Amino acid sequence: MAPVSLEEFAAELFATAANPERIAAAAATVIENPMPVGPLRVGPGGIGSANAICYVGEISGRAAGGDWDVVLDLPVRVGASVKVRPQRFKFGLEIVLQTRLRLVPAAGLTITVDVDEVRTSDITTKIDAQHLPAKLVSLGYDIEAEVVKQVVTRANHLINSPEIMAARHVDITEVIDRAWEEGVILARRSPTLVVPDVVEPPPFDDEQEMSTSDEPALGVAEHQRTLPLELPKDTPHT
């Protein structure tokens, strides 16, 4: 294995850590899904009331312009309902939310994940109002803008939550220590160091038919063989 410079080693380490597929999979584990939105006051003077349920689809990631930058695309399907007395109108919205993150090396052998806050300009939408009255309500009450505003607020709240802020700081020393403690490093090189689970033998049955084979068991033959004793020729027998 050819040696590399410290700069090359660090670059490869960060490139592995910033794998877009891994980051997308990690993001999927921390996002609330489904995510309720509302109730919202919509329309002139807040005459209407809107509720929505957001379902996040498969998150995709791709490498961006920076050395360790990743752009995440989050497709969101929204089912919205607007109540304008005495009627209720239903809408479907297709939203694609986009954010960018980057890995930043920090002192103390730490990696910080810097995440851009989501802006309304980072979102593309497509509204689906099935009937003409619903289309008129969606235009007059600006349902699309209200739902997008709430989605942006919820996304940024998640990004800056204490749980996510803690996860955005990776202590490499701690990762290495855990790898040693759990035997990951040696186990990969020396599989025999992994202690298997103890398997208890079955209880011996006195009535069980014993094997009548004269062939010694494998590994025991050498111990059962009787070797002749050869004395030196000049040693007298007693």
Fold of 6-185: Bactericidal permeability-increasing protein; domain 1 (3.15.10)
Max avg pLDDT among 157-161, 179-183, 228-232: 157-161
Mean pLDDT for the chain overall: 75
- The per-residue pLDDT for range 60-109, each reduced to its tens digit, is 988 887 667 888 999 998 888 888 777 787 878 888 988 888 888 888 88
Of 82, 185, 171, 70, nearest to 134 by C-alpha is 82
Domain boundaries, the chain: 6-185
Which comes out higher in pLDDT, residue 184 or 102?
102
- Tell me the pLDDT band of 221, cut-offs 50, 70 and 90: very low
Residue with tokens 């986009």, as numbered in its chain: 98
pTM (2 decimals)? Answer: 0.63
- Strand, helix or coil for residue 122: helix
Question: For the ranges 22-36, 119-133, 154-168, 183-197, which has the lowest average pLDDT?
Answer: 183-197
Give pLDDT, residue 139: 61
- Strand, helix or coil for residue 171: strand
Residue with tokens 């689809």, as numbered in its chain: 57
Which comes out higher in pLDDT, residue 219 or 28?
28
Give pLDDT, residue 110: 84
C-alpha span between 139 and 234 (Å, rounded) = 118
